[in-house]
Each structure stands twice: as C-alpha cells, then as structure tokens.
Amino acid sequence: MSEQTPSTKGPVGVPIVESASGAVPPAGSSRGFTRTGEEVLHVGHVITLARATFEGPAGEIMERDVVHHPGAVAVVAIDGDDVVLVDQYRPVLERQMLELPAGKLDVPGEDRLTAARRELVEEAGYDAPDMVELGSFHNSIGFCDEHTTIYLATELVPATPVAVSIEEEYLTVERVPLDGVEALIANGTITDAKTVIGLLWTLRRLGCCAASAGRITCSSAWVGFYWWMGGL
C-alpha cells in the first residue's frame, strides 16, 4: 500500500488524502483489484445474492457476499410550501416509515426519469411532467450495488394512484412543511437514507431559503453539512 499523507482540507476542514506521489486516484479506479468469478446463491423478487471472488493487487484472493439490485429512483415533490411524503409499512424494519415516493427500476426498457414519474403517480397520486435531477448515490457500498437517482418535482398535476403491492394499499400520503423537514431529520422521525439525502439536496438547491414564500431557513449546523455534501 502506498503511503498516505493528508494534504489540503475540504470546505469544513475534512482532510483530502493524497498518495505519496501527490495524485488522487480517479473516481472508479479499482487500484489493481479484479473480479475473477461469481456464484449466484439466490435470486429473489428484488435482489440477487452472489458470492464473488476477487484478486488483489499482489495476487491475494478474497471472497465477498454481493447483493445485486436493479437500481432505484425517488422524487422530492414540492407543492407550495409542502413536500409530499408517503408513510408506509416496511417489513424489514417492522414499522411505518416516512419517506419520499420511490421505487426500483423493475420495468424493462424504462429509463430513470420515466420510472420516477411512474412511482410518483403510483404512490402519491401526482404526476410531474417536468423534473430536475438532484443527484445520485450508491446506497450501501459495503455489500450492495444499488444506485439511486433523486429528482425534484415542483409542478405537480393530480393523478390517480395505483397500488402495486400490499404495503402500498395501506400507505398514506403526508404533506409536510418543507421548512420543518430538518427538524424531522434531527429528531429521528425521518431516518430513511434516500429521504434524508433528497431533502437535504433540495434545501441546498433552494439555497436554504424559501420554496415559494421566503419562510425556509437553515441552522448553521445544517449549512455546514450541506457545504460538506457539495457546497451551497
């Protein structure tokens, strides 16, 4: 392993680590690791579980459990001063969760933007002909390749929701004031990762100010976090 030395610091004092040569490896670099094989262990309704074999830079052999996921989309839907969320039961956690309308890429040939519009209609009962991509992220890189894209929708058109699962038959649509979401994140009411990320990205995009009436403000602590996530 090459020697690592801290260099300049990021926006909130986070060290940027460079190699001894002064070069930062490019995003997506494998640094000499190679996948050499994979055995599928289980194919489920959503995910595929596999045991993958990798070779390290010096020829080391390692095995890792890998979860393959088709990817997902989520929508931050703004209506006036409110954000449209859904409250639905999540079997894995055995509880209701307050979150963004979202879903997986499970329709063959469907692009991410079309999937986002479909999920917004199905879960929240709104369509949004014009959406803006806020960004994308990998959900849990320690074991899963799921990649989620989040969109912002501000021009909502009422539509007929279509439940496609038992959980969706019982979900409720909740309108939450956008200037109150940071408090819901801070007190643990909202803990879903895509929802936290999407809402913070939205507040950053809006400049931590008004969605429409000039009433949205951000604490200095959150401003620092937004800056660390990519700058205001």
CATH 3.20.20.70 fits 72-227, yes or no: no
Write out the two tokens for 129. Answer: 């002909």
Alpha helix positions (H), the chain: 112-124, 166-169, 181-186, 193-205, 220-230
What pTM was computed for the model? Answer: 0.79
Which one of the listed residues 38, 167, 168, 174 is annotated catalytic?
Answer: 167
CA dist 154 and 148 (Å) reads 20
DSSP symbols for 7-37: EEE-TTSPEEEEETTSPPPPTT--TT-EEEE
In the numeric block, the tokens 């088709």 are attached to 70
pLDDT per position in the chain (232 positions), as tens?
A: 444 433 333 333 334 334 344 444 566 678 999 999 999 999 999 999 999 999 999 999 999 999 999 999 999 999 999 999 999 999 999 999 999 999 999 999 999 999 999 999 999 999 999 999 999 999 999 999 999 999 999 999 999 999 989 999 999 999 999 999 999 999 999 999 999 999 999 999 987 544 333 333 334 344 444 444 444 3
- Please provide the size of the chain in residues: 232
For the chain, what are the domain ranges? 31-68, 72-227
User: Among this protein's residues, is 167 annotated catalytic?
Assistant: yes
